[in-house]
Amino acid sequence: MALVAAVTCSSCVVRTEVRPDSGSQSGGLVPEDLPPGVRYVGPGAEATTYLRGDVGRIVVEVDQAEGAEVSAEALDHFQTVLGSVADKPVEIETSTISAGGSAFSAEDLRGLENEHRDTVTDGDTASMYVLSLNGTLSDRQGIIGVAYGGSSFALFLEQNRGLDSAAVERAVLVHEAGHLLALVNVGYESPRDREDPDHANHSSNADSVMHWAVESVSILDALGGGPPDDFDDDDRADLADIASGAIVPEF
Ligand SMILES: [Zn+2]
């Protein structure tokens, strides 16, 4: 049975289905010292599935706790942006789940996903899973979004205090999906010099949705004028390279 280990970057927490000891942390999404034969299943691991032409459509399953519903406006924006970079139709299915509690560990997120997720990647369809919960990540308060698996991310929208909620929803949905699509430099090295040296796997461009502050309450300090809610040209160039096979993320 695979064990799990937590990997913490400056603003993300993910769990990968990895190794018995979780000694070192790379500062990025991918552990630096995966032992031979252990498969990485964290954010980015399914990027090629979403981006290449092997599947014809993406279904995004959004399971939301009562009171943590994502706005229709934000979901529309997300559908448009994801569809444009994946170059395929995106369908969004929302449902309400029972998810009590106010602090969730990455293990809790996996448990809720196991209990409630109805869609899987199969045949012509790639599945992406979104959990929207009340409360907070237990070990990283102030995080609005977290990518915790190869095809899964979670939102804690009530951690946003003060900014326009629909704007934050739009930004965080696209940001976390960006991590699932391997941004930035998750398993590859971009030919464009654009990774924030201080925040692994994030863009140095404050106008990119992949800027680190997008998923944190520090958004309030760092992003006056509202968060970016779309990929920038460099993000899109990386995604196009992954789609074409010019870049192949490796884990
Ligand atoms: Zn991030």
Please report the ipTM that was assigned to this predicted complex. Answer: 1.00
Cα–ligand 1 centroid distance for 75 (angstroms): 19
State which residues form the domain around 154.
47-244
How far apart CA 245 and CA 137 sit, in angstroms, is: 35
- 129 domain-assigned: yes
Q: Tell me if 6 is assigned to some domain.
A: no
Q: What is the Å distance from ligand 1's center to 36 Cα?
A: 27
For residue 31, the model assigns a pLDDT of 79
Adjacent-strand bridge partners of 14: 7
7 located within any domain:
no
Q: What is the pLDDT of residues 57-74, one digit of tens each?
A: 999 999 999 999 999 999
Residue 101 pLDDT grade (very low, low, confident, very high; cuts 50, 70, 90)? confident
Using the mean position of ligand 1's atoms as its centre, give its distance from the Cα of residue 168 in Å: 14
In a domain? residue 184: yes
Cα torsion angle, 207, 251, 248, 122, sign: negative
Which CATH number does the domain housing residue 219 bear?
A: 3.40.390.10
Q: Which of 16-20, 137-141, 246-250 has the lowest mean pLDDT?
A: 16-20
Question: Per the domain annotation, does 107 fall within a domain?
Answer: yes
If you average pLDDT over residues 8-36, what whole number do you get? 49
Across the chain, mean pLDDT equals: 85
What is the total count of domains within the chain? Answer: 1
Question: What whole-number distance in Å separates Cα of residue 244 and Cα of residue 51?
Answer: 8
Taking 80 as the threshold, does the pLDDT of residue 88 lie above it?
yes
- Is pLDDT above 70 for 167? yes
Instruction: State in Å: Cα 176 to ligand 1 middle.
Output: 6
pLDDT per residue as tens digits for the range 232-244 = 999 999 999 999 9
Residue 161, pLDDT above cutoff 80: no
User: What are the backbone angles phi and psi of residue 71, rounded to the nearest 5°?
Assistant: -70, 150
User: Does 18 have pLDDT greater than 70?
Assistant: no
Q: What mean pLDDT is predicted for residues 125-151?
A: 92
Q: What is the average per-residue pLDDT within 9-20?
A: 37
pLDDT(38) > 90: no
| Structural domain includes residue 18 | no
For residues 163-189, average pLDDT: 93
Domain assignment of residue 36, yes or no: no
* CA distances for 92 relative to 3, 10, 160, angstroms: 32, 30, 23
**Distance (Å) from CA 250 to ligand 1 centroid:** 19
pLDDT band at residue 218 using 50, 70 and 90 as cut-offs: low
pLDDT at 40: 87
Token couple for 133: 């919960």
The verdict on residue 30 lying in a domain is no
